[in-house]
Structure 1
Amino acid sequence: MMKHKLFIPLFLVAAFISQGKSAQAQDTVRRTVEIGKLDSLNSTILKEKRRIEVFVPKNDQPGSNTKYDVLYVLDGGNWNTGLISKIQGFLEGEKYMPPTIIVSILGIDRNKDLTPTHIDGWKTSGGATQFLGFIKDELIPYINQKYPANGDHSIWGHSLGGLFVVNALLVEPKTFKSYIAVDPSLWWDNNYIQKIASLKLAALQDPAVTLFMSGREGKEGETMKIDAMDSLLKKWAPAGLTWKSIRYPEETHSSVRFKSTYDALKFSYGWQDNEINFHPMNGIVLKNKPVAVWYFGDTTRVRYTTDGTNPTLGSAKIQSDIIINDGAKITVKQFTNRARYDQVKTGNFTKGKILTPISKPKNLQPGGFLYDYYEGDFNKAEDLKNKSPQKSGLTNADFEVEKLPRKNNFALIIEGVMETKEEGYYGFVLEADKGSKLYLNDQLLIQWEDHTKRNSPYSYILPLTKGFYKLRLEYLHQNKDAKLKLNYLPPSLCLLKKPFQFLSIYNLEPLNRQAS
């Protein structure tokens, strides 16, 4: 007599899961010293040797193929770079920006390097064109070749450095993705920057970059002449320039760097690294029997469509729930200020029919579940053919995956019959490992692909009637961090608009077939 292996009652939670951040200890004492790599290069343009200090992300591993954004800091050294490094590390930890290489450009003569024109009283002023040429044509290629840079660059400058940053945007707008000007000295040379800004801004051809400018409130802040630049940006900035200008009260020319850097780096990316998360992700829909798709996470600059087209910023804003009355392809997109970090996720909902139940097998009774356990590195269930399991057993209340002999490189095949006592939509959520699959009546519901950043689960919804259904789970465990979880949502909860509020345990009504 054929043996029916029955479904494992692990983690049966009556809710689609909203993925949150894992709690992190807040009281751990950590003492860190940020030390970059001192480096230098001989500049043909400047006709001198220039020193830099490079801070590569802490988690970068030798031999890794990971590439990083680069932030270039003018007036380098501890005065600016030490502050920026700490703020960048905090923002990275809060998922507001990715790991980043910081290049501290150590100065020799800032009055020469950072000013675009020569004025009386500033003997060496007016060398910004050459200094920008050095950064663009010598330093950036050097960093790209020697360090794990991805070609996505930002530049930060304060005071005269801020003047240099704004000038760089106007004359070389495609050199950097983000231009950060902290309390820039836009008074320079009788408002030279403002005089060239209207023509330069009008000539920009969709630069797809960001500009963040900051200043101070009050009379001292007014002397920097940032307001005049704001007016020109409002009138002449092209659509592809995303810009923001802000004034901070009760700050000095020096202290304004802290708040400015925090706000500027957040603005430069315009995102929080939350994975797009909606459930169910795929499914079968009956005509005129609506299904709710619930969206979890930040809604800022998130748009969606239901016809399979790529969303734009003009598409509908995401909602907490999207109602589908027929077949649809949902596409959700989170927009950032850097296209490389935009996220897109799609869900396919096919118009179909209620899945037909099977006839009730003989000798069924409520009870434990049966499983087969295989040891080895398996990429697909077909690899288990003609192999004998190392262990078979009953998945009763005492069964735990963690108690199996191996912690890694094993497979579980769990088959059985479940009884449904309601007619309507049933939701299944599976958290597993790459290559794992969930079937119902031999129909593939969920195929687990590569792990996402936060190992969020896969979900599926389909209409069932009262009766019995064969269920098969192929769990291939390779990733040591992977967990096996199945979450089940009956029709009575699928009809609710916010089912994730309910945490009652629901049973899949498994039935154990006794071998004859």
Structure 2
Amino acid sequence: MKAYQLLLIANLLIQTSSAQDFPQKKDSIYSAILQEQRSLQVILPSNYDPSQVYDVLYVIDGEWNTLTFYNIRRYLQAVGFAPPAIIVGLPNTNKDGVNMRDRDFLPTQVKTTPFSGGAANFLAFFKTELIPYINKTYHPGGESVLFGASFGGTFVMYALLTDPDVFKAYLCSDPALWWDGQYLVKLAREKLPQAKLNARTLFIGGRAGKAFENMGIAAMDSVLRTTAPAGLAWKVASYEGETHNSVTFKTNYDALKFTYAGYTKNPLRFSIHGGIVLPEKPITITIYADNLDVRYTNDSTLPAKEWKPIDSRLVVTDPDNMIVRSFSPGGRYTVNIPLHLRSGTTLTPAKRKPAPLHFTYFDLTAKNRKPVKTGSVDSTFRLKQADLPSFECLVEGALAIPDKSYYVLQLDEGEGSEVYINDTLRVKQPAGSKRQSIILPLDKGVYALKVRFMQTTSRPVPRFFVFKSTDGLDEWWNNVIFKL
């Protein structure tokens, strides 16, 4: 215990010396329940907007844990694994030189720890005083998350088992579940079978080896395996070569990733953004969904979480009845991923042979829509952006398809640009997109092609490509047959 206290003191000194390393807003609240003023470390998102929705991540043992927690969560946000959030660090109270964390975190009173047993009051403080105050003052509107380490982790488990509606996510680092003869393990065995924990998440991280058993984590893991209700998404992890303090770093990272699994700041997308699939000829497409848990069905039913997840490739045989779904542990980020594909037949060439390709440029900055350059399409037809920074370029003529196969039509850049095949719109570049790729089954022959390039910003000049896809397989991008 003395060694542990020395480690805590050392950690406190390090954190105190680095107190300016995170942009905290110092706040406080008087608690009638605890009968004391509690200081708060409030960290708002860099572009905080009170009209936006943010989760609030409550960190107890704030004087030790807030800085590390803040830096890890900020990193996860930067790489796209977590959304912006508000962090509220809650430093402990000291009375007559005694840290009162034992009073606040521990659920039962034990004679050898005279200040223990006040966890019920501390949880009531969160529920009826602190969380309402944060919601009123900072208008977060999102979900509440609780993180604690050691005895703090003990309190996290106590909160989950006794009043699970206070928080949506529970994060524990090396929780002292040995406390009072494994009181919380016994409580979990009693409470979990009947508990209503829908959309709640729990992550417990601890040290591998003997410590995993000594802390009571192994026993809690066993109870969770046998009695955890279906609505609780949980995970217990053990880490080799860590100390009671150092394991907090890895737990923070993995616990936040687990809590926000399924979140992405970029739209979920495929290598193919739409088109036609032949019933007798499946296609293979790539799904860009790093760190996502994706499953699918081919019979119009919703995929189940228990189904085997797919890798980065997806075989599409019946797009009209295929449902692709990305799952998250608590269900918050569980969404269907639209395919924008449909079943159909092979397109046939134009009935009348189109004329050779020709182009017309229009200056969009001019008052009237007057052509500024026309001619036949060759290697020199493209204007440089410096010559005409804002333009519409209309290309019309013939597109020769060498073989009956799948072909991918791709627009790069050019918001609002369009591609028509035989006078039917097939590709349109949406707002905010850099690339749009559409697959079509085409017969051998000559098709009428019309491409309308739109250049109205400082982004790169738009381009158009046609790729041949061998047997509907991916990696068609290596086989370009036409480009503008």
Shorter-chain TM band: 0.7 to 0.9
- Which letter maps to 2:87? I
Against the structure 1 CA distance between its residues 413 and 143, is the aligned structure 2 distance closer, same or farther, given a 3 Å change threshold?
farther
Against the structure 1 CA distance between its residues 316 and 198, is the aligned structure 2 distance closer, same or farther, given a 3 Å change threshold?
closer
CA apart distance, 1:237: 0.7
CA apart distance, 1:82: 0.8
1:461 aligned counterpart, secondary structure: strand
Deviation string 1:70-104 (CA, Å, 9 cap, x unpaired) is 21100112x21111112122222332322332111
1:130 aligns with 2:118: no
Among residues 129, 152, 155, which one is paired with 1:164 in the alignment?
155
Q: List aligned pairs for 1:79-228, cutoff 5 A.
A: 79-108=64-93, 109-147=100-138, 149-220=140-211, 222-228=213-219
Identical aligned pairs, as a percentage? 35
CA apart distance, 1:148: 5.4
- Which letter maps to 2:449? L
1:74 aligns with 2:60: yes
CA apart distance, 1:480: 5.4
CA apart distance, 1:200: 1.4
- Which letter maps to 2:437? S
CA apart distance, 1:161: 0.5
2:253 aligned counterpart, secondary structure: helix
Name stretches of at least 5 consecutive residues in structure 1 with no aligned partner.
1-31, 377-385, 511-516
Deviation string 1:373-427 (CA, Å, 9 cap, x unpaired) is 4239xxxxxxxxx9514744456545256335436xx654444432323233221
- Which letter maps to 2:440? L
CA apart distance, 1:38: 0.9
1:374 aligns with 2:355: no
Q: TM-score, normalised by structure 2?
A: 0.83
CA apart distance, 1:255: 1.8
Q: TM-score, normalised by structure 1?
A: 0.78
Q: Which residue of 2 aligns with 1:41?
A: 29
**In structure 1, how many angstroms separate the alpha carbons of the residues matched to 2:461 and 2:33?**
56
- Which letter maps to 1:354? L
Report how many aligned residue pairs link the two structures.
Answer: 455
Among residues 42, 45, 56, which one is paired with 1:54 in the alignment?
42
**In structure 1, how many angstroms separate the alpha carbons of the residues matched to 2:293 and 2:318?**
26
2:322 aligned counterpart, secondary structure: strand
Identify the structure with bigger relative contact order (alpha carbons < 8 Å, sequence gap 6+). 1
**In structure 2, how many angstroms separate the alpha carbons of the residues matched to 1:457 and 1:111?**
57
Against the structure 1 CA distance between its residues 477 and 335, is the aligned structure 2 distance closer, same or farther, given a 3 Å change threshold?
farther
Aligned-residue Cα RMSD (Å) equals: 3.1
CA apart distance, 1:135: 1.4
Against the structure 1 CA distance between its residues 318 and 247, is the aligned structure 2 distance closer, same or farther, given a 3 Å change threshold?
closer
CA apart distance, 1:225: 2.0
**In structure 2, how many angstroms separate the alpha carbons of the residues matched to 1:182 and 1:295?**
34
Among residues 428, 447, 454, which one is paired with 1:469 in the alignment?
447
Q: Tell me if the contact between 1:70 and 1:102 (Cα under 8 Å) persists in the aligned partners.
A: yes
Q: Tell me if the contact between 1:359 and 1:468 (Cα under 8 Å) persists in the aligned partners.
A: no
CA apart distance, 1:478: 5.8
Among residues 471, 480, 484, which one is paired with 1:495 in the alignment?
471
Q: Tell me if the contact between 1:357 and 1:465 (Cα under 8 Å) persists in the aligned partners.
A: no
**In structure 2, how many angstroms separate the alpha carbons of the residues matched to 1:201 and 1:298?**
33
- Which letter maps to 2:389? R
Against the structure 1 CA distance between its residues 136 and 391, is the aligned structure 2 distance closer, same or farther, given a 3 Å change threshold?
farther
Against the structure 1 CA distance between its residues 319 and 400, is the aligned structure 2 distance closer, same or farther, given a 3 Å change threshold?
farther
**In structure 2, how many angstroms separate the alpha carbons of the residues matched to 1:507 and 1:353?**
20
More moved, 315-324 vs 111-120: 315-324
**In structure 2, how many angstroms separate the alpha carbons of the residues matched to 1:321 and 1:86?**
34
Q: List aligned pairs for 1:262-277, cutoff 5 A.
A: 262-271=253-262, 273=264, 275-277=267-269
Q: Tell me if the contact between 1:371 and 1:415 (Cα under 8 Å) persists in the aligned partners.
A: no
- Which letter maps to 1:303? R
1:446 aligns with 2:427: yes
CA apart distance, 1:486: 2.8
**In structure 1, how many angstroms separate the alpha carbons of the residues matched to 2:74 and 2:212?**
29
**In structure 1, how many angstroms separate the alpha carbons of the residues matched to 2:274 and 2:411?**
12
Q: Which residue of 2 aligns with 1:333?
A: 325
Among residues 274, 278, 285, which one is paired with 2:277 in the alignment?
285
Q: Which residue of 2 aligns with 1:255?
A: 246
2:206 aligned counterpart, secondary structure: strand
More moved, 125-134 vs 458-467: 458-467
More moved, 395-404 vs 177-186: 395-404
- Which letter maps to 1:202? P
Name stretches of at least 5 consecutive residues in structure 2 with no aligned partner.
1-19, 94-99
- Which letter maps to 2:323? T
1:270 aligned counterpart, secondary structure: coil
Against the structure 1 CA distance between its residues 450 and 66, is the aligned structure 2 distance closer, same or farther, given a 3 Å change threshold?
farther
